[in-house]
Amino acid sequence: MKFAGSALTVGDHIDTDAIIPAIYLVSADPAELGSHCMEGLDPQWKKKIKPGATLLTAGRNFGCGSSREHAPVALIGAGIPVVIAHSFARIFYRNSFNMGLVPIEVGEDYSEFHEGDELTVDLPAGKIYNKTTGKTVNFPPLPESMRAILDTGGLAEFVKGKLSAKL
């Protein structure tokens, strides 16, 4: 699994209310949630996204706050397939896999990414290439079990596939 796109950067401690404000939790539709993604941080933020060509980079503790699964769904619905962060709130990290969003923790190396940098993520190799600076950041490759969940689009699709294989 490889991803490429321009970095869109946010800071530390971006909570789930900033990712998708509670007023929009009446929907589970990814497109609807995506249209309000990061509205709690910046009402104009959505205009910065090029769907499928934007990778989010973040600081520490991304996705803190409530345990809502709507937050990773909103990012996916906005057209962001990957979040590269210093660190994630644990429940957001797990919810990301469950919903099909790729979370990558890079620790202090997050400072290697700046808004507008052109990035390529090689998930199996555990490498992020910054075409803008020429630098490569390594991260621990995701376990095959987690990549399998991501490959199917999230936990629900993964389980459906496993169940249908048994029928």
Q: What are the tens digits of pLDDT across the range 28-51?
A: 999 999 999 998 888 888 889 988
pLDDT at 20 over 90: yes
CATH code for the domain in which residue 77 is found: 3.20.19.10
Q: How confident is the model at residue 21 (pLDDT cuts 50, 70, 90)?
A: very high
Structure confidence at residue 30 (pLDDT): 94
Task: Share the mean pLDDT of the chain.
Answer: 93
Q: What is the dihedral of CA 154, 53, 14, 148, to 10 degrees?
A: 20
Structure confidence at residue 62 (pLDDT): 96
Structure confidence at residue 141 (pLDDT): 87
* Burial tier of 116 (Cβ tally within 10 Å: 0-12, 13-18, 19+): exposed
What is this structure's pTM?
0.92
pLDDT at 82 over 80: yes
Q: Count how many domains the chain has.
A: 1
Q: How confident is the model at residue 89 (pLDDT cuts 50, 70, 90)?
A: very high
Q: What are the tens digits of pLDDT across the range 112-132?
A: 999 999 999 999 999 999 999
Percent of the chain having pLDDT more than 90? 72
Structure confidence at residue 110 (pLDDT): 94
Contact in structure between 95 and 113 (CB atoms under 8 Å): no
Contact in structure between 98 and 149 (CB atoms under 8 Å): yes
Give the range of the structural domain holding residue 11, as residue numbers without chain letter. 2-166
Q: How confident is the model at residue 154 (pLDDT cuts 50, 70, 90)?
A: confident
